[in-house]
Chain A
Amino acid sequence: MPKFFNSKSKQLEGDIDGFLDRVTTAGLIFQEGVKAYVIGKKDKFERNFKDITALESDADNIRRDIKHKLYTYMLIPESRGDVLGLLETLDDIVDICEKVLEQFSIESPDIPEFLKSDFIELAELSSKTVEEVVKAARAFFREIGMVSNYVNKVHFYEHEADDVEEHLKRNAFNSDKIKRFSHKVHMRYFAEKIAAVSDVAESVAERLSVYAIKRRI
């Protein structure tokens, strides 16, 4: 019986780690994708977009598999709801990363030179929030005391991302370099989309803080 329990647990540990790896990778591909688009490396951007699409469906499958196993083998009955909730919201991050790159691919926004650095910085900060929230999630599974440390970092980077987003939007609307109003709105739209990644990461972090309190012995 112990072997049975352990083998299932080990399998699930591996699945969960694999899922979290994919979320981190999604954040990095997202950052690289936005950067590639902004600096005009269209081929690299399309490669990134293709990669993140594959990754998104892969992450979905792993999450479904974990859910199935948790219910079939009746594991972690006390924290099952929390764990599944956590994985679902983490999956939302991967989804939104993929969606943003898709919007870039479909709408091909024209990014003026003076906004490029802001877009790149915003993508970097959003990606950073993803990285930290995944660390917080790993801590939730292994080292509950460290969760709040990573959650704080998520809050910090999200706040920074908000500042850059606001700065970018003000620049776009105050500048004479963008003539058409629709173009300004288009810039605002993409700034908000990129920043949305950090917002979702922050809401996952909020959940994690509560789950961590519940999981304390």
Chain B
Amino acid sequence: MLTIIFFLSSGLFLGWSLGANDAANIFGTAVGTKMIKFKTAALICSMFIILGAVVSGAGASHTLGELGAVNQLAGAFIVALAAAVTVMWMTKAGLPVSTSQAIVGAIIGWNFFSQTATSMSSLSKIVGTWIFSPILSALFAFLFFHITKRIVERSRIHLMRLDSYTRIGLLVVGAFGSYSLGANNIGNVMGVFINSSPFKDITLEGLFYLSSIQQLFLLGGIAIAFGVFTYSKKVMMTVGSGIFKLSPVTALIVVLASSITLFLFASQGLHNLLTSLNLPAFPLVPVSSSQAVVGSVMGISLAKGGRNINYKKLSQISMGWIATPLASAILAYVALFFMQNVFMQSVFKL
């Protein structure tokens, strides 16, 4: 049991850091501008992240599994650790880092080490989605901005009432965003452990069923929630008053646009529906909530006439698509080598 907990710890740490960083993408402005109290935000965020992870987390995780099926617990430990260290290091460097990109890099590192072929179709699907997701967020934000502006102008709604509607909106959209984040990003945290999951399915009198994967996701969700409660306040205060100075209404638009993007790339229900209607479905891929938010902010800048577009941030994102997985892959490769040859642990099964 102790061994299992030890090996899962790197994934839990990755979850913690995801909670600490990404909750701010959803509730940052709301808390930073004092529209919502941190405690309320943290509670809603945690609940819905766990719910999203357990109910709807399987889709995006499955794609990661296609990329590389890490089949030993010690290997999964290293893969998650390499991703976590990369995320920490990039965060310290002030780059809009993505857990998704770090974990993909680490998985590819494991593939190289175990001499497993990397599925190029999965990889191109994943990378294509990374590029597409901020663009999609920008489009949503652009659209929502114009709709909101028109509604607010035409309805002659009083400032006080607009304020109360915005608060309710920030809570509801925040809950949806948290759910989407949990659903889309749990794969990053716990996905690599799926093939070596130490848990057994639980059934209670036919009323309640929790698969071993769902138990893993529940654990990961709790780790994310822990990150939200222990560390995200600091990040939220920075987001709310620093990097992106948004008004509460624009924050609402940004969170809604980013959440929909995250949801589209995580919802199996929607995927199945579109497929059954013979329509092109969104691939289920873990994407970066930070980059979706940057995309949304850009969309709003464009809607305002293209002023204040932060080209530096855009180039940092593009750099991140290459630099993050590369750093993480190298780190994973080196760490796997040490785990196997120094600590004498089996990191893959042939």
Q: Which residues of A contact B (CB under 8 A)?
A: 1-2, 5-6, 8-10, 12-13, 16, 74-79, 83, 140-145, 215, 217
A16→B250 CA distance, assembly (Å):
25
Closest to A139 in B: B156
Enumerate chain A residues within 8 angstroms of B145, measured Cβ to Cβ: 217
Most chain-B Cβ atoms within 10 A of its Cβ — which of A2, A9, A12, A217?
A217
Query: Across the A-B interface, how many residue pairs have beta carbons closer than 8 Å?
Result: 60
Interface size class of B (residues with CB under 8 A): 20 to 34
Enumerate chain B residues within 8 angstroms of A10, measured Cβ to Cβ: 160-161
**In contact, B161 and A9 (Cβ under 8 angstroms):** yes
**In contact, A217 and B156 (Cβ under 8 angstroms):** no
A145→B156 CA distance, assembly (Å):
10
Closest to A17 in B: B158
Closest to A4 in B: B164
B258 smallest CB distance to A (angstroms): 18
**In contact, B157 and A142 (Cβ under 8 angstroms):** yes
A9→B166 CA distance, assembly (Å):
12
**In contact, B156 and A83 (Cβ under 8 angstroms):** no
Closest to B247 in A: A78
Closest to A77 in B: B34
**In contact, A76 and B149 (Cβ under 8 angstroms):** no
**In contact, B161 and A217 (Cβ under 8 angstroms):** no
B145 smallest CB distance to A (angstroms): 7
Enumerate chain B residues within 8 angstroms of A217, measured Cβ to Cβ: 145, 148-149, 152, 247, 249-250
Partner of A5, one of B152, B156, B167: B167
A12→B161 CA distance, assembly (Å):
9
**In contact, B163 and A76 (Cβ under 8 angstroms):** yes
Enumerate chain A residues within 8 angstroms of B168, measured Cβ to Cβ: 1-2, 5
Contacting residues of chain B (157-205) with chain A, CB-CB under 8 angstroms: 157-161, 163-164, 167-168, 171
Closest to A1 in B: B168
**In contact, A16 and B160 (Cβ under 8 angstroms):** yes
Q: Is B118 an interface residue (CB 8 A)?
A: no
Q: Is B116 an interface residue (CB 8 A)?
A: no
Partner of A143, one of B35, B156, B160, B248: B156
B interface: dominant SS: helix
Do A77 and B33 form a contact, CB below 8 Å, given A1-B168, A145-B153, A217-B148? yes
**In contact, B33 and A76 (Cβ under 8 angstroms):** no
A13→B163 CA distance, assembly (Å):
11
Enumerate chain A residues within 8 angstroms of B33, measured Cβ to Cβ: 77-78
Closest to B148 in A: A217
**In contact, B160 and A12 (Cβ under 8 angstroms):** yes
**In contact, B161 and A13 (Cβ under 8 angstroms):** yes
A13→B159 CA distance, assembly (Å):
8
A27 smallest CB distance to B (angstroms): 23
Enumerate chain A residues within 8 angstroms of B157, measured Cβ to Cβ: 142
Do A78 and B160 form a contact, CB below 8 Å, given A145-B153, A217-B149? no
A78 smallest CB distance to B (angstroms): 6
Enumerate chain A residues within 8 angstroms of B34, measured Cβ to Cβ: 74, 77
A33→B248 CA distance, assembly (Å):
45
A175→B160 CA distance, assembly (Å):
54
Enumerate chain B residues within 8 angstroms of A145, measured Cβ to Cβ: 153
A78→B250 CA distance, assembly (Å):
12
Contacting residues of chain B (221-263) with chain A, CB-CB under 8 angstroms: 247-250
B162 smallest CB distance to A (angstroms): 9
Most chain-A Cβ atoms within 10 A of its Cβ — which of B163, B164, B249?
B164
Closest to B171 in A: A1
Enumerate chain B residues within 8 angstroms of A6, measured Cβ to Cβ: 161, 164
Contacts A78-B247, A79-B163, A215-B159 aside, 14 further interface pairs with beta carbons under 8 A come to A2-B164, A5-B167, A5-B168, A6-B164, A9-B158, A9-B163, A74-B34, A76-B163, A77-B34, A79-B159, A142-B157, A144-B153, A145-B153, A217-B250
Enumerate chain B residues within 8 angstroms of A8, measured Cβ to Cβ: 164
Enumerate chain A residues within 8 angstroms of B250, measured Cβ to Cβ: 217
Q: Could you pull out 19 A-B pairs where Cβ atoms are within 8 angstroms?
A: A1-B168, A2-B164, A5-B167, A6-B161, A6-B164, A9-B163, A74-B34, A75-B160, A75-B163, A75-B164, A76-B160, A77-B33, A77-B248, A78-B248, A143-B156, A215-B159, A217-B145, A217-B152, A217-B250
